[in-house]
A and B are shown apart, each in its own frame.
Chain A
Amino acid sequence: MSTAAASPTRRLSIYLYRRPALALTLLLAPPLLWLGVVYLGSLFALLLQSFFTLDSFTGQVVRKLTLANYRDLFVAANIDIIVRTASMAAAVTVAAAVVAFPISYYMARYATPRGRALLYLGVLLPLWSSYLVRVYSWKLILAREGVLNWTLVQMRLDGVLNWLLSLPVIGGPSLSVSRLGMFVVFLYVWLPYMILPIEAALERVPESLLEASADLGARPRETFRRVVLPLAFPGVVAGSLFTFSLTLGDFVVPYALGNSALFIGQAVLAFQGTAANVPLAAAFTVVPMVIMAFYLTIARRTGAFEAL
């Protein structure tokens, strides 16, 4: 590049170098326009929409502020949806904590550095492959003629499965269309989000504390219950934020393995899609936001944010 041609750009760069505020504005303008205007604007549009209403006669959205959608949320059918989703989220969260604890404990306490790196990769790897396909794979596993059923028949345990499926609420015609199957799949897709924070919290428990506890005469079981568990608890809460929130907002798993009993995510999708009632759908998304706001407030008290 010749000097003569470069000089205007040179002058520009000197100009910008001397005016960091201007340079900063130029750097920030595009991302702020995108995230600040498009994204935050959309979130605002969502909130605004939730106060509009749908004219059931014309099917048009009436742009007049009203609380009608929020009143509609408290219809028995909608309360059912909310309770169903929240209890599934709670069950998944508790199960994930129980299942995640042993592997996290092994990773933090016993694995060699190399082994820990491998285990870490082993836990992360599923998160890297497509979430949708991982859900789909369970459709193949849980089908009536699928992998799991075959395995159980080989082990002569199919009677147990049939008994479980005959139970009300959690049962169904086959595992691939039942609340129980849905629970297993939720547990599977969100489990890594629970393992990682628990492992991080356990890694920070100093060995000296455990030795001190043993020296003071505590049995291993007692040390575990009174030293390890309380120290790992913030990690559990941090993990539960993910498992709970992700379950609340999901619609892929309920669609893939559920029946006509809707979950929050499905309700939102159904209202905005087939019913074309975006205002009610918008009001419905406020529910997981409010639940999560409560959850976050409680979680903050346990110190979970330091364990993230």
Chain B
Amino acid sequence: MAARAPTARASFGLKAATVAVLLFLHLPLTVIILFAFTTEDAAFRFPPPGLTVNWFGVAWQRADIWAALSLSLRVAALTALAALVLGTLAAAAVHRSRFFGRETVSFLVILPIALPGIITGIALRSAISLLGIPFSVWTIVIGHATFCVVVVYNNVLARFRRTAYSQVEASMDLGASPFQTFRYIVLPSIATALLAGGMLAFALSFDEIIVTTFTAGQQETLPIWIFNQLTKPRQRPVTNIAALFVIAGTFIPILLAHRMTQGTVEAGRAGR
């Protein structure tokens, strides 16, 4: 970090540019929130002619939204579970030992998020079609878990690095069974990292669209439902409500995960 010269003052132009960029980054989402309450139902007219909470009721009665939401929630939960298991195992292996190909494991874990989503998507789509696997919840979960392993891996590995392995050895020396050691020593020390990693994986999966388009077949997750509305808008007010749902479904878990790991890992950096 650079030491600051005592007289250093930002010019007005620099401050104005900073504020402008911040507004540019933040105003669009407030627009979504505003339009969820507009009485206009055919266009995106601004300012809204009036405000109403009517559309929440309308959205509530839409079977297709419920189906999409429930599919998204199921996929996100299964993805988080798979990512938790795989990410923790990989982190434990990489942390515990030095072995040939250790770097390769880290590389493999990061690769799905480093390559553009479209490549991961079409690759899985190719494999699915080559093997003749029918599309199902599981084909979506396989796609999502592939790029979600990294968030759990990063969180858990960072936590492992901060906890001493001697605790585990002490526990076993004192006669604890492996189950007890895991339950009372390992789990408490990595619990928040697991929770944070799981929530990040959930959030990543919940709003994923690129890979999902290739692995979902005819199934509609909530993002796919919104994407279809984006290209062929028919249900504008209801889309605004669905968009609010997606904001909540991604923002809240990520915010919680961030608070849980504050100061240890930059949770959000593994975003995309």
Contact = CB atoms under 8 A, between A and B. Distances in A.
Interface string A107-118: 111100000000
For the residues of B in contact with A, the DSSP-based class is helix
A1 interface: yes
A252 B210 contact: yes
A205 B96 contact: no
A129 B243 CA distance: 11
B51 interface: no
Output the residue of A1, A132, A150 with the most chain B CB within 10 A. Answer: A132
A130 B271 CA distance: 10
Nearest to A46: B123
A188 interface: yes
A61 B22 CA distance: 50
Interface stretch (A20-28, A69-77, A164-172): A20-28
Interface residues of A, number: 98
B67 interface: no
Interface in B24-53: 24-26, 28-29, 31-32, 35, 43-47
Interface stretch (B54-62, B126-134, B186-194): B126-134
B174 interface: no
Given A39-B146, A49-B126, A31 B89 contact: yes
A2 to B, nearest CB: 10
Contacts of A65: none
A87 interface: no
Contacts of A272: 122, 125, 214
Q: Which of B32, B111, B206, B207 counts the most chain A CB atoms within 10 A?
A: B32
Nearest to B214: A272
Contact of B118 (A35, A122, A127, A268): A268
Contacts of A1: 177, 179-180
Nearest to A6: B177
Given A128-B255, A211-B5, A272-B125, A24 B271 contact: no
B218 to A, nearest CB: 11
Interface string B189-221: 000000000000001001101100110000000
B254 interface: yes
Contacts of A250: 116, 118, 210
B247 interface: yes
Interface in A23-73: 23-24, 27-28, 30-32, 34-36, 38-43, 45-46, 48-49, 61
B14 interface: yes
B69 interface: no
Interface string B238-268: 0100010011011100110010000000001
Contact of A31 (B13, B109, B124, B230): B109
A251 interface: yes
B145 interface: yes
Interface in A241-267: 245-246, 248-252, 255-256, 265
B89 A28 contact: yes
19 contacts: A10-B177, A31-B87, A34-B82, A35-B108, A36-B108, A99-B24, A103-B22, A106-B15, A129-B247, A130-B243, A130-B249, A133-B29, A139-B44, A192-B25, A250-B116, A265-B118, A268-B118, A269-B118, A292-B116
Given A39-B111, A129-B247, A130-B246, 10 more contacts: A9-B177, A13-B178, A42-B123, A108-B2, A110-B8, A129-B29, A136-B226, A272-B125, A288-B119, A289-B115
